[in-house]
């Protein structure tokens, strides 16, 4: 967390720091921190904040015709240049707007228990990484730092934020997911699932906020190697999760002990994953 002239620090999340100026605008700073299993790891991934910021900006441009977003300007203080954005100060909606097109992660675990995810009944016989008949909306509550996000059904979401707003969020999230999936498909990538965050401006307009369609918030898989029934090559944090849950790490994710430092090899390979998905999506190398 930096001390930045003319800005007041107001919040730090797992990987982001937020500041405010006297115009009530927010400075949204992406750090090189990385989180897994609701822990902020003691290691950092070099250039991660810059890569994900550039990727978010690219996605906001791709989606500008179908959704308003929070980006105001890239005119930012020099000490956070390249990894920050000036954004609108919104009233954030306390829901993670998760959309799934394939069966993986917590969705797979829930499906195995009751053949549904967040109240969405699914066909029998699906396997890990199966493509769903149609994308589904599976909201979650936003947890405090160190706590678990909790999957909920749409009816629970309606009780939290109201029926009309819940439907707006669902419809917009589904629209964005379908557009993003088409873009990813054209790049020979599968967008398996993602989460969006939305806020309301002073006129109660629904605005897309936070990071968008990055490896931190989304599962991207190479289309050519996809195979139903097993885990996929992934460009997200799964690489780090796999190491943390391996015998090599010596760490128990169900314990209350902090995770260990990542080996240099894992840090470098994780950075390569972020760089590769940036190149595949945008068609350009990160500079």
Identify the residue whose tokens are 């894992």: 266
DSSP assigned state of 14: S
Q: 163 with 192, same domain?
A: yes
CATH number of 117's domain? 3.30.470.20
Non-local CB neighbours of 241 within 8 Å, separated by 6+ positions: 36, 37
User: How would residue 104 be classed by pLDDT, with cut points 50, 70 and 90?
Assistant: very high
User: How would residue 37 be classed by pLDDT, with cut points 50, 70 and 90?
Assistant: confident
Cβ(50)–Cβ(85) below 8 Å: no
Q: 99 with 237, same domain?
A: yes
Q: 39 with 133, same domain?
A: no
Quote the pTM value.
0.94
Non-local CB neighbours of 171 within 8 Å, separated by 6+ positions: none
Q: What is the pLDDT of residue 145?
A: 56
Q: 159 with 198, same domain?
A: yes
User: How would residue 148 be classed by pLDDT, with cut points 50, 70 and 90?
Assistant: low
Of all helices (H) and strands (E), which one includes residue 216?
A: none
Identify the residue whose tokens are 């190398």: 285
Q: 237 with 131, same domain?
A: yes
User: What φ, ψ does residue 246 adopt, rounded to 5°?
Assistant: -85, 165
Confirm whether 279 is domain-assigned: no
Q: 98 with 220, same domain?
A: yes
H helices present in the chain, as ranges: 48-62, 105-114, 154-161, 163-186, 238-244, 264-282
Q: What is the pLDDT of residue 122?
A: 98
Confirm whether 154 is domain-assigned: yes
Q: 190 with 119, same domain?
A: yes
Cβ(251)–Cβ(225) below 8 Å: no
d(CA 158, CA 154): 6
**Which residues span the domain enclosing 31?**
8-87
Q: What is the pLDDT of residue 256?
A: 87
Identify the weakest region by mean pLDDT among 36-40, 92-96, 222-226.
36-40
Cβ(270)–Cβ(34) below 8 Å: yes
Confirm whether 283 is domain-assigned: no
Q: Per-residue pLDDT for 22 more than 90?
A: yes
Cβ(266)–Cβ(249) below 8 Å: no
Q: What is the pLDDT of residue 199?
A: 98
Confirm whether 269 is domain-assigned: no
User: How would residue 1 be classed by pLDDT, with cut points 50, 70 and 90?
Assistant: low
Q: 60 with 13, same domain?
A: yes
Q: Per-residue pLDDT for 16 more than 90?
A: yes
Q: How many domains does the chain have?
A: 2
CA distances in angstroms from 25 to 8, 28, 38, 130, 171, listed in the order given = 11, 10, 28, 42, 28
Q: 169 with 56, same domain?
A: no
Q: What is the mean pLDDT of residues 74-102?
A: 97
Confirm whether 284 is domain-assigned: no
Identify the residue whose tokens are 């921190």: 33
Torsion of CA 98, 33, 280, 65, to 10 degrees: 50
């Amino acid at each position: 967390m930096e001390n930045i002239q003319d800005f007041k620090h107001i919040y730090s999340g797992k990987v982001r720091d937020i500041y405010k100026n006297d115009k009530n605008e927010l400075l949204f700073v992406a750090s090189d921190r990385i989180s897994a299993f609701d822990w902020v790891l003691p290691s950092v991934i070099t250039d991660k904040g810059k890569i994900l910021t550039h990727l978010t900006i690219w996605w906001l441009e791709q989606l500008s015709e179908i959704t308003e977003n929070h980006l105001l300007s890239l005119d930012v203080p020099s000490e956070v240049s390249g990894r920050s954005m000036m954004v609108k100060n919104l009233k954030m909606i306390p829901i993670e707007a998760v959309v799934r097109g394939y069966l993986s992660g917590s969705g797979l675990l829930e499906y195995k228990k009751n053949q549904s995810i967040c109240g969405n009944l699914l066909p029998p016989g699906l396997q890990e990484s199966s493509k769903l008949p149609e994308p589904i909306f599976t909201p979650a509550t936003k947890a405090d730092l160190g706590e678990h996000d909790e999957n909920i059904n749409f009816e629970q979401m309606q009780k939290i934020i109201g029926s009309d707003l819940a439907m707006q969020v669902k419809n917009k999230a589904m629209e964005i997911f379908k557009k993003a999936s088409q873009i990813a498909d054209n790049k020979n990538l599968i967008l398996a699932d993602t989460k969006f965050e939305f806020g309301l401006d002073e006129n109660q307009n629904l605005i897309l906020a936070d990071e968008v369609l990055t490896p931190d918030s989304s599962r991207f898989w190479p289309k050519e190697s996809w195979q139903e029934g097993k885990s996929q090559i992934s460009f997200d944090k799964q690489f780090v999760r796999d190491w943390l849950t391996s015998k090599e790490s010596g760490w128990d994710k169900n314990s209350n002990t902090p995770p260990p430092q990542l080996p240099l090899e894992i840090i470098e390979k994780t950075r390569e994953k972020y760089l590769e998905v940036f190149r595949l999506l945008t068609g350009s190398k990160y500079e």
